[in-house]
Amino acid sequence: MRREELPQNIGRYRPQSHLAAGGMGRVFLALDPEGRTVAVKQLHPGLSHESGMRERLRREVEVMRKIRSARVAELVDADLDADPPYIVTRYVQGRTLRDVVEAEGPLRGNALLRMARGIAEALVAIHAAGHVHRDLKPSNIMVVGGEPVVIDFGIAREQDATRLTVEGGAIGTVGYIPPEVLEGAVAGPPADVFAWGATIAYAATGRPAFGTGGVQAVALRAYRGAADLDGVPTELHPLVTAALAPRAEFRPDAATLAGALAGEPAAFTMDPAAVQPVPAPGYGTAAQPDTEPVRPGRRRSLVIGASAAAAAVLISGSLLVWRPGGNGDPPRPSPSPSPVAAPGRPSYQETIDNGKAGQRLMEFLGANVGKKVLVFAPLAGEITPYAGNGEDFDSFGENDRALFTFWPECREKLDPGERPTSKKCVGVQITILGEQPARVGLLWTSGFYRVQGNFEVSMDGTNQGIHAFTLKPAEAA
């Protein structure tokens, strides 16, 4: 975003640069009236009046106001009645833990101990306020002067906020989510402790604790307690192992972690039962929808139960997990089958964007024309879906189909601010058949659009440089 395109003011704050954008809105680096830098998160104007969005932002503000710790990016201000509403947080200048490890390699010695202790202290403050972060991971930890600051409370929720959990979705990242959450339980403090263990294992080794590969494989390793801790220092090994216990009751709490790390980590004694695996889930069976209340006009997403946890839903590396239970009206029936597949079905699980990931999706679809595939992929913020009749896509209503276009590559360099078109770029149009939104199709959850489900792929040809594919919902494998 060029400087002349920035908003002149957001409330009493003056934007200086554009930091990030997503399905929920935009984040700006701004100056407050005293000239201090802050981060301003502004809800997307098109979402300001959608049911539940302001309430979701209000809940985020309530979470952040109760947490007071130098280890957490604290709330500075908020105006939820503005149009669009916004919140202001301390601007944390630094690099993420993930960026640090990727650029400089694993942390060693005192640097690793400081990181482990600091993140544990952040969790103590979060849990003491009665909250759970739910998406602790290396990319949500800023490193400032060698010390960690936990960010991204866009998905933090009160532990008993069951309704908002259903409506907004409880997010976590595969490899950082414990088995009980994969089975559909609400994430509690032990889930953050599990994520702490996976994060410190990554910081110490430079590798994901449960490896890479398909979602099912990573999830099963978590169930089995099969963490790769080769390279974790001896003094941290028992703490990390205990934190990654498959069973929540055997994990230490955050205060125990912080206390051990402030003293002698090696003195911590792990319960031998911590390494007992959770019974592995089966494949290919869709969990049954429960009867949690849903907003009128909105479709329910899949409830991931024990039998389907290993086929969990990847969303930009994150898992969407719904909490079972509740006593509301039954969900509206959907004509679409449930999106659970066996591991053998070809799958695409990356963000769909303009560029290399878009190129990979185009090649994936081209290679699987006439076949059934499994797709769990979010749309990047610059990709806007629309309805089959050409009107704006109603993410909470009903559309006869959904369409979106992305641009995998450009033959010519675009001018600054120029949007890609078929004149200079290769385009791909995806049409998703069936009533939308549905359990299979294009969904809006937690601030992002995503393509989710089992589909049969067909290619409709190429018109004016745009390749057209259709995804037809198919039965689960």
Domains of the chain: 3-90 (3.30.200.20), 95-275 (1.10.510.10), 341-473 (no CATH)
Give the pLDDT confidence score for residue 24 in this predicted structure: 62
Query: Looking at the DSSP assignment, which residues form a beta bridge with residue 373?
Result: 455
Residue 67, classed as helix, strand or coil, is: coil
- pLDDT tens for the chain, 477 residues: list them: 555 578 889 999 999 988 776 556 788 899 999 999 998 988 777 666 665 667 767 777 887 788 888 898 888 898 988 888 888 988 888 899 999 999 999 999 999 999 999 999 999 999 988 888 888 999 889 999 999 999 875 433 333 332 222 333 335 678 898 988 877 777 889 999 999 999 999 999 999 999 887 666 788 888 888 899 999 999 999 999 999 999 999 999 999 999 999 988 877 887 777 777 776 554 333 332 222 222 222 222 222 333 333 333 333 333 333 333 333 333 333 333 333 333 467 888 888 888 888 888 998 998 888 899 988 888 887 788 888 766 677 666 667 788 889 998 888 888 887 888 888 888 899 999 877 666 678 877 655 688 888 899 998 877 777 888 999 988 765
**Catalytic residue status for 32:** no
Q: Rounded distance, CA 361 to CA 119, Å?
A: 36
How many residues in the chain?
477
Buried b (16+ CB within 10 A) or exposed e, 454-463: bbbbbeeeee
Give the pLDDT confidence score for residue 135 in this predicted structure: 83
* 173 burial level (CB within 10 Å; 0-12, 13-18, 19+): buried
Q: Rounded distance, CA 20 to CA 23, Å?
A: 11
Pairing outcome for strands 86-90 and 37-43: antiparallel
Residue whose token pair is 């006593």 = 327
Residue 422: HSE in the Cβ half-sphere, 13 Å Cα cutoff: 11
Q: Which helix (H) or strand (E) holds 471?
A: strand 466-473
Give the pLDDT confidence score for residue 466 in this predicted structure: 85
Residue whose token pair is 């770029």 = 425
Residue 412, classed as helix, strand or coil, is: coil
Angle 109-128/254-262 helices, nearest 10 degrees? 150
Give the pLDDT confidence score for residue 282 in this predicted structure: 41
**Joined tokens for residue 226:** 């099969």
Q: Are 379 and 385 in contact (CB under 8 A)?
A: yes
Give the pLDDT confidence score for residue 313 in this predicted structure: 33
Q: Rounded distance, CA 275 to CA 150, Å?
A: 28
pTM here is 0.57
One of 135, 152, 192, 290 is an active-site residue; which one? Answer: 135
Q: Are 31 and 389 in contact (CB under 8 A)?
A: no
Q: Rounded distance, CA 285 to CA 445, Å?
A: 23
Q: Which helix (H) or strand (E) holds 429?
A: strand 425-436
Q: Of 37, 146, 20, 26, which is closest to residue 94 (Cα–Cα)? A: 146
Give the pLDDT confidence score for residue 19 in this predicted structure: 79
Q: Give me the sheet containing 37-43, strands edge to edge.
A: 14-21, 25-31, 37-43, 86-90, 75-79
